[in-house]
């Protein structure tokens, strides 16, 4: 490594974000560039461990441990330490099609399994990854790579999220003619409309989409397969089809009062906000505004945090975030050892901003919503909730049990449901005749092929709700499988 004792000499650098009180005034990215000296020192903290778990990409206890795309992390940490930025980008691009996305929005399971994390804060892998690719773009190193020869085979990719884009880029580079269908008016899927602009600037998404288009990928927007074009037409017109439509069926909260006005699914709220921002800088009013409202976000995770951050930027009067799970511990529990993903208490950007504005973290843990209260005019005015304890039931499973005497009412003018997703929407699988698994996701074999020959699936559509980095990995794996299927068992693509 560049500096064998670096992990003993340098401390982990905290995230260089803009101050919360400043950044809540706009929709610009929160993360300014970092000085080269700082980055080289952070790269030097990579400790030349004997077995680098950071790039293993395994599932341990149901969660990612290490990088799912198997990034060559120790190699590019060493190169950054030495100031060899171009070589670092070459290493990074070998395994990850879109490190500018993962470097911004991935929760970094690589850091959770960093060997240094056993005794000290882990290496700032995510920060370094993002800086490598941003510097590569600035230096003109990221260029279109059209294939030298075309095979003449045609592939349809349904969905332009991270799985669809990764699959399309890989298949195009193998020489196939790739068409990506996207039902929204802009390419990017979750990257475009599911993640707020301050977390992932849409110019960054557009920049990468342009590269794919320059390489020869064809994009068809505003076209929903299964609605505007029957899904069963695709196998007749293309040599192969890859389903990358995501797990977009939102989990609802079917309690009394759910039909009241002012209660919205989180993704509907986030999508309309970003579209209005991009279309008119919010001048068209085509979004649900939290301005002046008492907002309650039900659900944690990234989507819940994004609802918090978005509501704050609208000018919410107050903000409460409810989670049904208990508060995580500050340190790893005994049953959550390294290199598992550390299930610990974290403060994300939205909670940090709320704390600065209102003096406290907006989250309340172990809370169950019983019903929504009507204001007499069909609008929500409050939530009735109760505290719960998680106990083992007769079947041996843990579940929430209400704590007597803890019922209370929380005022609310706007309620956002960020409860996750239950799987893909059904029209496309039904029209194609592809089978679903017992969780409601599209079933695939070990080669990402469905029960219908020539039709493949990748990302959340077959995996279920997951991380962007898993979607990129699955898109790459599906592309390799499709290439092998089209080319009689041969492939030029890496996994």
Residue with token string 């990358």: 244
Does position 188 have pLDDT exceeding 80, yes or no? yes
**CA neighbours closer than 13 Å in the CB half-sphere of residue 9:** 14
Looking at the fold, whether 100 and 67 belong to one and the same domain comes out as: yes
pLDDT at residue 149 in the model? 97
- Strands 263-265, 408-411: parallel, antiparallel or unpaired by DSSP? unpaired
Share of the chain above pLDDT 70, in %: 100
Give the span between the Cα atoms of 53 and 122, in whole angstroms: 12
pLDDT at residue 339 in the model? 95
Looking at the fold, whether 272 and 234 belong to one and the same domain comes out as: no
Structural domain includes residue 144: no
DSSP string, 190-222: IIIIIS-TTTS-HHHHHHHHHHHHHHT-EEE-S
- Strands 318-323, 294-298: parallel, antiparallel or unpaired by DSSP? parallel
Structural domain includes residue 491: no
pLDDT at residue 417 in the model? 98
Structural domain includes residue 323: yes
What is the arithmetic mean of pLDDT over 136-145?
Answer: 98
End of a domain among 70, 104, 138?
138
Q: Give tens-digit pLDDT for 478-490.
A: 999 999 999 999 9
Does position 109 have pLDDT exceeding 80, yes or no? yes
Distance of CA 317 to the CA centre of its chain: 28
Looking at the fold, whether 66 and 86 belong to one and the same domain comes out as: yes
Does position 2 have pLDDT exceeding 80, yes or no? no
Looking at the fold, whether 289 and 356 belong to one and the same domain comes out as: yes
Give the span between the Cα atoms of 278 and 195, in whole angstroms: 13
Band of pLDDT at residue 337, cut at 50, 70 and 90? very high
Decide if 276 contacts 285 (C-beta within 8 A).
yes
* Lookup: tokens for 214: 């320059």
Looking at the fold, whether 345 and 482 belong to one and the same domain comes out as: no
Local structure of residue 401 (DSSP, 8 states) = E
pLDDT at residue 11 in the model? 96
Q: Give tens-digit pLDDT for 58-73.
A: 999 999 999 999 999 9
Q: What is the pTM of this model?
A: 0.96
Count of all residues that appear for the chain in the document: 495
Does position 133 have pLDDT exceeding 90, yes or no? yes
pLDDT at residue 455 in the model? 98
Structural domain includes residue 147: no
Band of pLDDT at residue 48, cut at 50, 70 and 90? confident
End of a domain among 111, 138, 165?
138
Supply the mean pLDDT for the chain: 96
Structural domain includes residue 129: yes
* Lookup: tokens for 321: 């975030």
Band of pLDDT at residue 1, cut at 50, 70 and 90? low
Looking at the fold, whether 206 and 99 belong to one and the same domain comes out as: no
* Lookup: tokens for 325: 């799970």
Nearest C-alpha neighbor of 182 from the set 155, 204, 164, 203: 164
Structural domain includes residue 326: yes
Looking at the fold, whether 365 and 444 belong to one and the same domain comes out as: no
Give the span between the Cα atoms of 48 and 46, in whole angstroms: 6
- My answer on whether omega of the bond before 232 falls inside 30° of 0, hence cis, is no
Structural domain includes residue 97: yes
Q: Is the dihedral of CA 81, 83, 85, 88 positive or negative?
A: negative
pLDDT at residue 14 in the model? 86
How many structural domains compose the chain?
3
CATH number at residue 463: 3.50.50.60
CATH number at residue 18: 1.10.1060.10
Structural domain includes residue 149: no
Looking at the fold, whether 264 and 408 belong to one and the same domain comes out as: yes
What is the arithmetic mean of pLDDT over 18-37?
Answer: 95
Looking at the fold, whether 73 and 21 belong to one and the same domain comes out as: yes
Looking at the fold, whether 271 and 415 belong to one and the same domain comes out as: yes
The residue range of the domain holding 89 is 6-138
Q: Give tens-digit pLDDT for 240-288.
A: 999 999 999 999 999 999 999 999 999 999 999 999 999 999 999 999 9
End of a domain among 400, 419, 438?
419
Band of pLDDT at residue 394, cut at 50, 70 and 90? confident
Looking at the fold, whether 131 and 161 belong to one and the same domain comes out as: no
Looking at the fold, whether 294 and 383 belong to one and the same domain comes out as: yes
Q: Give tens-digit pLDDT for 198-252.
A: 999 999 999 999 999 999 999 999 999 999 999 999 999 999 999 999 999 999 9
What is the arithmetic mean of pLDDT over 286-311?
Answer: 97
């Amino acid at each position: 490594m560049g500096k064998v004792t670096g992990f003993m000499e340098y401390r982990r650098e905290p995230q260089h974000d803009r101050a919360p009180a400043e950044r809540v005034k706009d929709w610009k990215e929160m993360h300014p560039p970092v000085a080269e000296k700082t980055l080289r020192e952070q790269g030097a903290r990579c400790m030349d461990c004997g077995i680098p778990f950071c790039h293993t990409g395994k599932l341990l206890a149901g969660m990612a441990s290490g990088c799912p795309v198997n990034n060559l992390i120790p190699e590019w940490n060493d190169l950054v330490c030495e100031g060899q930025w171009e070589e670092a980008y070459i290493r990074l691009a070998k395994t990850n099609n879109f490190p500018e996305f993962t470097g911004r929005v991935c929760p970094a399971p690589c850091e959770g399994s960093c060997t240094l994390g056993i005794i000290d804060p882990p290496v700032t892998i995510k920060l370094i990854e993002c800086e490598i690719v941003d510097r590569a773009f600035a230096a003109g190193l990221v260029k279109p790579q059209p294939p030298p020869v075309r095979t003449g085979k045609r592939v349809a990719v349904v969905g332009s999220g991270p799985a669809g884009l990764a699959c399309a880029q890989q298949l195009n580079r193998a020489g196939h003619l790739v068409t990506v269908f996207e039902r929204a008016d802009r390419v990017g899927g979750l990257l475009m409309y599911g993640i707020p602009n301050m977390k992932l600037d849409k110019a960054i998404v557009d920049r990468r989409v342009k590269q794919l288009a320059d390489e020869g990928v064809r994009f068809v927007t505003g076209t929903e397969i299964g609605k505007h074009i029957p899904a069963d037409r695709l196998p007749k017109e293309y040599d192969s089809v890859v389903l990358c439509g995501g797990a977009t069926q939102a989990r609802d909260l079917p309690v009394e009062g759910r039909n009241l006005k002012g209660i919205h699914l989180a993704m509907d709220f986030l999508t309309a906000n970003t579209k209005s921002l991009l279309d008119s800088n919010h001048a068209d009013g085509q979004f649900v505004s939290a301005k002046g409202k008492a907002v309650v976000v039900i659900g944690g995770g990234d989507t819940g945090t994004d609802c918090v951050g978005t509501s704050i930027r609208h000018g919410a009067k107050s903000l409460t975030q409810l989670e049904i799970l208990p508060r995580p511990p500050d340190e790893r529990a005994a049953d959550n050892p390294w290199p598992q993903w550390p299930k610990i208490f974290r403060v994300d950007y939205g909670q940090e901003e709320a704390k600065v504005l209102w003096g406290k973290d907006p989250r309340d843990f172990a809370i169950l919503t019983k019903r929504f209260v009507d204001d007499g005019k069909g609008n929500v005015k409050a939530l009735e909730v109760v505290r719960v304890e998680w106990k083992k039931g007769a079947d041996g499973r843990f579940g929430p049990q209400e704590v007597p005497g803890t019922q209370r009412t929380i005022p609310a003018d706007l309620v956002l449901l960020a409860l996750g997703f239950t799987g893909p929407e059904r029209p496309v699988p039904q029209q194609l005749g592809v089978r679903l698994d017992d969780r409601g996701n599209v079933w695939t074999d070990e080669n990402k092929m469905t029960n219908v020959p020539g039709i493949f699936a990748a990302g959340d559509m077959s995996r279920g709700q997951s991380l962007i980095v898993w979607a990129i990995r699955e898109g790459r794996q599906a592309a390799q499988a499709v290439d092998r299927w089209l080319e009689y068992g041969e492939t030029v693509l890496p996994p």
